[in-house]
Amino acid sequence: MAKEGADMTEETEYMIDRNAGKEAASVESPSNAKEMRAVVLAGFGGLNKLRVTRKAMPEPQDGEVKIRVKACGLNFLDLMVRQGNIDNPPKTPLVPGFECCGIVESVGENTQGFEIGDRVMAFMNYNAWAEVVCTPVDFVYKMPDEMMFAEAAAFSLNFVAAYMMLFEVASLREGMSVLVHSAGGAVGQAVAQLCSTVPNVTVFGIASCFKHASIKDSVTHLFDRNTDYIQEVKKISPDGVDIVLDCLCGENTGKSLSLLKPLGTYILYGASNMVTGETKSFFSFAKSWWQVEKVNPIKLYEENKVIAGFSLLNLLFKQGGCNLVKSVMDKLLSLYKQKKIRPLVDSLWALEEVKEAMQRIHDRGNIGKLILDVEKSPTPLMANDSTETSEAGEEEEEAEGDNDSKERMPFIH
Ligand SMILES: NC(=O)c1ccc[n+]([C@@H]2O[C@H](COP(=O)([O-])OP(=O)(O)OC[C@H]3O[C@@H](n4cnc5c(N)ncnc54)[C@H](OP(=O)(O)O)[C@@H]3O)[C@@H](O)[C@H]2O)c1
């Protein structure tokens, strides 16, 4: 059973002990272990493509650290990867996951700046959802002493993306207004918190209605995702807004552009609308693509509008942006230490519970971030599940796409 994040206090700290350090590294990690547990995506598709299996223990190369993982972040992007709903998908089988945190267990040759026992968080180009990972130090950051592992796993991707969009791309300043979709999600809450560090910023948040009571204090105005948000915003601010952060794409692109004030900035950073069912829907993909307003630069020039795109993972892993991201991380950790920002954790899940965790995002149930807690035991329900041992087989292929049966599974949160 997952532990809800709203009152994530003593038990969570017990499960992911923030004081774990050098002693823990030596006790829990026999250096001669040849294998480790990892989540594996056997092929693109539904939840049944995920399983926990044993893999060879990785060893650090030149310039890398080996991390005994405590917790991993589960992002909306991981759903899209599972479905194969991304550009240039890598080959399967693969270990998913783009971020994790834990304790440095060993360092490769010529590795500077880190030593055994350091508590760290890291970006990974896949392979994060495992008991042990190895990664170049370019993507590794030391955790503040007071930060818990659950917080660290909820920190990097969301806060760095939110910070770079607001401050590097859109130049957020005092008195501006920002519209953010999925305001109750992990990035949405990071955006809301970062906006609150600048005086007099108005945040228009859009989220499913049941989240409103929990997140109403984090934004200035909150709208149900099913309302006509263009009309609602214009009732309050007839001129529109300065910044629109769009993670939905499709029809929202045109709507968002119509909401921009002169010199306003629209940033596309996701395509959540492409996810409809459990598996990739070519109809949703085509609809989203078709609905995106085709923009003529001459119209932008006449209307004084800015259109931008942002992908943190591309910046980090394809475009050499690690030094820029490091400087952003320094600023964010400073804000964290000043208690100006703090990641909101929705719930913690064992690796074996990854399917239920993903289903929670599919169902729009999360408020804040879902965490895979590597040391957490699965629920009794999952302990009897066949995921750990089964191979991809005919029965599973038949089950793929059977969304109804998945939705009726008795998940207890
Ligand atoms: N470009 C980048 O660098 C970058 C980095 C991180 C994340 N992202 C993007 O930012 C967005 C949010 O990511 P996140 O990881 O923070 O996730 P999240 O917001 O925590 O994700 C779940 C929420 O998204 C909303 N949602 C919108 N469309 C949905 C759909 N089709 N199915 C299910 N939920 C949907 C739901 O909230 P409501 O029902 O309340 O709307 C849901 O609770 C995603 O599009 C992701 O790809 C981009």
Tell me the per-residue pLDDT of 39-69, one tens digit each, with 9 for 90 and over.
999 999 999 999 999 999 999 999 999 999 9
77-95 pLDDT, tens digit per residue, is 999 999 998 888 899 999 9
Beta strands in 124-230 (DSSP E): 132-136, 140-142, 177-180, 202-207, 221-224
Which phi and psi (to 5°) does residue 207 adopt? Answer: -160, 165
- The rounded Å distance from CA 117 to ligand 1 centre is 34
- The rounded Å distance from CA 324 to ligand 1 centre is 24
| Residue 251 burial (C-beta neighbours within 10 Å; 0-12, 13-18, 19+) | middle
How far is residue 103's CA from residue 120's CA, in Å, rounded to a whole number? 6
- The rounded Å distance from CA 185 to ligand 1 centre is 6
Q: How confident is the model at residue 380 (pLDDT cuts 50, 70, 90)?
A: low
Nearest CA to ligand 1 atom 9: 270
Same domain? 304 vs 383: no
Same domain? 135 vs 186: no
pTM, two decimal places: 0.87
Average pLDDT, the chain: 86
The residues near 125 (Cβ < 8 Å, ≥ 6 apart) are 98, 313, 316, 317
Percent pLDDT > 90 in the chain is 72
Alpha-carbon distance values, 147 to 16, 150, 223, 341, 412 (Å): 11, 8, 32, 12, 28
- The rounded Å distance from CA 248 to ligand 1 centre is 8
Q: Are 275 and 80 in contact (CB under 8 A)?
A: yes
Of 158, 132, 363, 345, the closest CA to residue 245 belongs to: 158
Same domain? 297 vs 248: yes
Pocket mutation for ligand 1, best pick of 346, 364, 367 (most atoms within 8 Å of C-beta):
364
CB atoms within 10 A of CB 34: 8
- The rounded Å distance from CA 250 to ligand 1 centre is 14
For residue 261, what pLDDT is reported? 97
Instruction: Identify the residues whose C-beta falls under 6 Å from ligand 1.
Output: 75-77, 157-158, 161, 182, 184-188, 207-208, 211, 225, 247-248, 269-270, 272-273, 275, 310-312, 361-362, 364, 366
For residue 387, what pLDDT is reported? 41
46 lies in some domain: yes
CATH number for the domain harbouring residue 37: 3.90.180.10
CA 370 to ligand 1: nearest atom: 20
Alpha-carbon distance values, 350 to 68, 273, 376 (Å): 16, 28, 5
- The rounded Å distance from CA 15 to ligand 1 centre is 27
Beta strands in 289-396 (DSSP E): 305-309, 345-349, 369-373
Same domain? 399 vs 293: no
CATH number for the domain harbouring residue 280: 3.40.50.720
SS (H, E, C) 13-55: HHHCCCCCCHHHHHHHCCCCCCEEEEEEECCCCCHHHEEEEEE
Query: Which of 314, 330, 355 represents a domain boundary (last residue)?
Result: 314
How far is residue 45's CA from residue 93's CA, in Å, rounded to a whole number? 12
CA 365 to ligand 1: nearest atom: 43
Q: Which residue range(s) make up the domain with 29? A: 2-154+343-405
CA 80 to ligand 1: nearest atom: 47
Residue corresponding to tokens 């929705």: 346
Nearest CA to ligand 1 atom 42: 364
278 lies in some domain: yes
CA 313 to ligand 1: nearest atom: 3
For residue 286, what pLDDT is reported? 67
Same domain? 167 vs 254: yes
187-230 pLDDT, tens digit per residue, is 999 999 999 999 999 999 999 999 999 999 999 999 999 999 99
How far is residue 47's CA from residue 358's CA, in Å, rounded to a whole number? 8
Q: Are 172 and 178 in contact (CB under 8 A)?
A: yes
CA 312 to ligand 1: nearest atom: 3
How far is residue 344's CA from residue 101's CA, in Å, rounded to a whole number? 16
Same domain? 44 vs 133: yes
Residue 28 has pLDDT above 70, yes or no: no
Q: Which residues of 297-321 are buried (b: 16+ CB within 10 A; e: fewer)?
A: eeeeeeeebebeebbbbebbbeeeb
Cis peptide before 93 (omega within 30 of 0): yes
Which phi and psi (to 5°) does residue 319 adopt? Answer: -120, 15
- The rounded Å distance from CA 280 to ligand 1 centre is 16
Which phi and psi (to 5°) does residue 36 adopt? Answer: -150, 165
Alpha-carbon distance values, 395 to 48, 358, 368, 407 (Å): 10, 21, 35, 18
Residue corresponding to tokens 């809450």: 189
Same domain? 49 vs 27: yes
The better pLDDT of the pair 40, 254 is held by 40
How far is residue 28's CA from residue 68's CA, in Å, rounded to a whole number? 9
- The rounded Å distance from CA 367 to ligand 1 centre is 11
For residue 290, what pLDDT is reported? 65
Residue 341 has pLDDT above 90, yes or no: yes
For residue 288, what pLDDT is reported? 67
Same domain? 16 vs 117: yes
Same domain? 238 vs 188: yes
Q: What is the rounded end-to-end Cα distance, in angstroms, of the chain?
A: 6
- The rounded Å distance from CA 360 to ligand 1 centre is 12
Coil, strand, or helix at residue 273? helix
Same domain? 284 vs 378: no
CA 186 to ligand 1: nearest atom: 16
**Minimum mean pLDDT range among 52-61, 322-331, 394-403:** 394-403
CA 273 to ligand 1: nearest atom: 31
For helices 282-291 and 251-259, angle between their N-to-C axes, nearest 10 degrees: 30
- The rounded Å distance from CA 272 to ligand 1 centre is 6
